[in-house]
Amino acid sequence: MRFRMLGDVRVGAVGFGTMPLSIEGRPDEARALATVHAALDAGVTLLDTADSYHPPGGAPGEGERLVARALAAYGGRTDDVLVATKGGRGRTADGGWTVDGRPEHLRRAAEDSARRLGTTPIGLYQLHKPDPAVPYAESLGAIRELLDAGTIRLAGVSNVDTAQILLAREILGDRLVSVQNRYSPAVRESEPELRLCAELGLAFLPWSPLGGISRSSLDGASALEEDPGFGGFHRVARERGVSPQRVALAWLLARSETVLPIPGASRPETVRDSAGASSLVLTGEELAALNGR
């Protein structure tokens, strides 16, 4: 596993987004724990979760409790693992998602997350999404208070545009270390945010980094290389003898030294394959083809 920096913390270049382990369609407890342990065995040291990662009607923090149990049950070293969680979103009984950026909610949510994770300060706490009903500066002010109080060590923001990143930097200073936006071979709208993160030295954590790749694989091998959006990823995968998902993650790593993809997984073999992207270095010719799709 290669390493990259997240603030002043050295983490594996490929992280693990644990959301699939605790929402609808999640695996049973044994497989979920085995998947986290497989990630740790493969050198992953960044685990991403959120207080809202639970099934509809479930209790907030189910994903955080699972991560805590997995770390407690792991037989190897965990002192170098950075657990990142998020606050500011919720679930509805019918499976929808809510947003709550009120300062009082964020303070309470972070304290609850710390108790569930069994750690204070929280390694990385991320404001999950701007709340249109609350001035963003007020939500960020609550994050600053949590930093000052020692409830959280480092801060990040998610689902933001460039103006919001700059505002967060102004309010949080160098304690803002990361941005988590959707970015993948299929969804590249956050290119300006990625560039800004590179300029500011902020880690960029693409969520849903395999968007489109897994779906295109369902179309069958005969259609893959003709797909105008994803054919290149499948061609490189065939030539390299690896999965297209691994190629997609290697491509993300090559976009910028600040990129730390956090692919999800619900099986040990899948998370091991993702971790292998750290050692896959694509050629300039391959990158040129994939960048142009």
Catalytic residue list contains 136: no
What stretches of the chain adopt beta strand conformation (E)? 3-6, 9-12, 16-17, 46-48, 82-87, 89-91, 97-99, 122-127, 152-158, 176-180, 203-204
CB-CB contact of 194 with 201 (8 Å): no
Distances (CA, A) of 75 to 21, 33, 72, 82: 20, 12, 8, 17
- Which residue, 256, 250, 257, is CA-closest to 275? 250
d(CA 195, CA 288): 18
Token pair of 78, please? 């965990």
Which of 53, 125, 136, 183 is flagged as catalytic? Answer: 53
The CA-CA-CA angle for residues 89, 90, 92, to 5°, reads 145
Strands 97-99 and 89-91: antiparallel
Q: Which residues are catalytic?
A: 53
